[in-house]
Structure 1
Amino acid sequence: MADHAFVTLATNDSYAKGALVLGSSLRKNTSKKLVMLITPQVSDSMRKVLNKVYDVVRLVDVLDSEDSAHLALMERPELGVTLTKLHCWTLTEYTKCVFMDADTLVLENIDDLFEREELSAAPDPGWPDCFNSGVFVFQPSLDTYNQLLQLAREKGSFDGGDQGLLNTFFSTWSTKDIHKHLPFIYNLSSVSIYSYVPAFKAFGASAKVVHFLGKVKPWNYTYDSKTRTVKGDVHDQTVTHPEFLNLWWDTYTSRILPLLTEHGVVKDVSTGLKAEEVTEAMSQMSIAAPPLLPSISSEERRERWEQGQVDYMGADSYENIKKKLDTYLQ
């Protein structure tokens, strides 16, 4: 339907790169309208590229919770501006929309989401009685928008970002209607620490949307275009499943990088280089390797266990636990 749309948001050029990859993945899998919300921090040259991928690019004001206390609990101070996402309810020219964070990637057609009601979303891996606000079905409404703003002013958000506020507003999501619970395959966390490995092996192939949760995003890595693989250690507990990370970068280098180069978003380093050399040079220059995680104390490790943040792929793997038990039994 013409009055249905997929919607995303970028508050800077880095997230705009993610939105371009998301838009490209949607173009492969749907004929629905694609709508992009941007803030003034997105550059003019990037806006031109976004207009090549999205049907509508709309400028909106930044809404920032400025809630440093709650944001500090997640160690994510940058998430205050995610309240800007609330502008999606102002898109009243559409009867129903699906919002998707700019760090998601669509793997196959998900138009069936438009058969769902507001507010349909998948459980958050960190606290399943809350939904994750990276993918959700909503119905644009100025009345809802104004009520959300009023709630933000009066009570704020329990996490300082949009997810806490939306879960407070749509507070019956976890208890009232199971039909509003999207299967996890519509918002699959790509971060190993959040993925129960046996379940991923059993159901991961059915994933429809991958969500690159966490501080380190796909555009924060280095990509080798010759081998078509991501460089660096992509197997530690905080790193995305390599196959999804490689897919993101393959889309970026083949479909997005040429557009960025054409519009001068990526600086010209192509003098004297062949086309394939330009692609490699661009992909190598723009991304930094992810930071190494510091080692944690046994007390902090125990706290993470109690919070459900188990390092299944690393120190807390089955093999390591078995070795520890064997030493006690001996």
Structure 2
Amino acid sequence: MNSPNDEATHSLLRETLKVSTGKVNSYKRILLNKHGLIRFIIKSIIFFGGLTIFGILLIYIYETIKTPKYDSVLYDDNYVCHDSKTCGIKYHGDNYNFTNDDDNNNDKEINNTTVAFFSSLYSDNYLKGALLLGYTIKKHNPNHQMYLQYFPGRLSIDTICQVQSIGWIMKPVERIPPPWKGLYEGYRDQYTKLRMWSFTEFKDGIIYLDSDTVVLKYIANLFELIKPSTGFEFAASPDLWDGKDSNTFNAGFMLLKPNIDVYNELMRTHNISAYEKGYAEQGFLNEFYRYRYLRLPETYNINISLMKTTPHLWKVLLPNMNVVHYTCRKPFLRSDPGIYAEPYEFWIKLYNEMDKDLNLEKLESECKNK
């Protein structure tokens, strides 16, 4: 039997052991917590480091795709001719006579019958766009012809009647199909723009505008820029799609000089896989004319996409705008303006002005009764 002193000693030992054990467990917990914190820090570094590397890789890939390689075969004069002189020699030999092309550097006064405005209408859905474009061209450039490319059988009789009433002259054309499958539906008819180079009756120039544009000023003076003495046969404005200065142009507004030899070269080379195919004819023409076109000010093709990145420029540039291009959203197809409220209001104001001048309801009724 243990004495009271022994019991007290044992009790003290047990208490001491408990305290010691508790301290050990506490130290273990602290140590484990430290290890867990270290593991967490290491995992975080790995995760965010990997995320950073992935982001850098994405930026590199984007810049690699976005940045032109400047190595297209379409640049090479040994493979492709790009103007009436070089194509004349290519298709007719070194002794080709250029005098028939008015290429003697003696610029003559431009005859309004040898220049024209052009657009395209391949769907009844774009009727309002074509009407307003025609109205604004005539308002500011009343002495020039307007031609509308279309595919026979695609447009209703009513649509043709209405656009003719505005002043459009119908120009039936054969469709040029895209050379690649999988092209965005809205771009599949756009290679047909190449037909304009074959319209040599307008030998002094064509100003082409997409039917989702409006003209705000006199722009027929641009024909002076492609007279023989200038050395230029094609001009366009930079594409403001991303709100930055661009090294590509937008094919919704073009100044061109028709020539049958250049047309033949365009038809020969548009199916070469040497350009950004996703942009259809615009991608092709950008490569074909990259080092050989006259760059016009952005005000000749104000892309409303600037509202995405630099919306303040709308008011800044408005007094100087010559042409506005409704690329991203079209007021005649969608009533909701989204971020494009100011360009929408501008378009609607012009459309109401046209309606007041021409009485569109009466015009539509007359065309239906014909």
Q: TM-score w.r.t. structure 2 length?
A: 0.60
Structure 1 residue runs of 5 or longer lacking an equivalent are 223-231, 266-330
Q: Is the 8 A contact 2:306 2:313 kept in 1?
A: no
Q: Distance in 1 between matches of 2:198 and 2:362?
A: 33
Q: After superposition, where does 1:1-330 map in structure 2 within 5 Å? A: 1-2=111-112, 3-30=114-141, 31-40=143-152, 41-54=154-167, 56-65=169-178, 67-69=180-182, 71=183, 76-94=184-202, 95-117=204-226, 118-126=233-241, 128-155=246-273, 158=276, 159-173=278-292, 180-194=294-308, 196-214=310-328, 216-222=329-335, 232=336, 234=337, 236-237=338-339, 241-251=343-353, 253-254=355-356, 255=358, 256-264=360-368
1:91/1:253 CA distance change after superposition, 3 Å? same
Identity, in percent, stands at 25
Higher-Rg structure is: 2
- Distance (whole Å) between structure 2 residues aligned to residue 34 and residue 221 of structure 1: 27
Contact 1:66/1:80 (CA < 8 Å) preserved in 2? no
Residue 116 of structure 1 aligns to a residue whose secondary structure is: helix
Opposite residue 170 of structure 1, the aligned amino acid is: Y
Q: Determine if contact 1:192/1:238 at 8 Å carries over to the other structure.
A: no
Contact kept, 8 Å, 1:8 with 1:102, in 2: the verdict is: yes
Give the partner amino acid of 2:285. L
Paired residue secondary structure (1:237): coil
Q: Which amino acid aligns with 1:104?
A: T
Check 1:169–1:240 CA distance in 2 against 1; reply closer, same or farther (3 A cut): farther
Secondary structure at 1:218 match in 2? coil
Instruction: Report the secondary structure of 2:190's partner residue.
Output: helix
The structural deviation recorded for 1:22 is 0.5
Alignment TM-score, normalising by the size of structure 1:
0.67
Pair 1:116–1:194, CA change in 2 (3 A):
farther
Cα RMSD after superposing both structures? 2.4
Deviations 1:10-68 (A, max 9, x none): 11112233112111111111111111111121122322222222352111112221634
**CA displacement at 1:207 relative to structure 2:** 0.8
Structure (1 or 2) with the greater helix fraction: 2
* 5+ long unaligned stretches in structure 2: 1-110, 227-232
Change in Cα spacing, 1:187 to 1:160, as seen in structure 2 (3 Å) is closer
The answer as to whether partners of 1:192 and 1:241 remain within 8 angstroms in 2 is no
Does the C-alpha gap of structure 1 residues 66 and 243 become closer, same or farther in structure 2, counting only changes over 3 Å? Answer: same
Aligned counterparts of 1:157 and 1:42: Cα–Cα separation in 2 = 32
Letter in 1 for 2:311: V
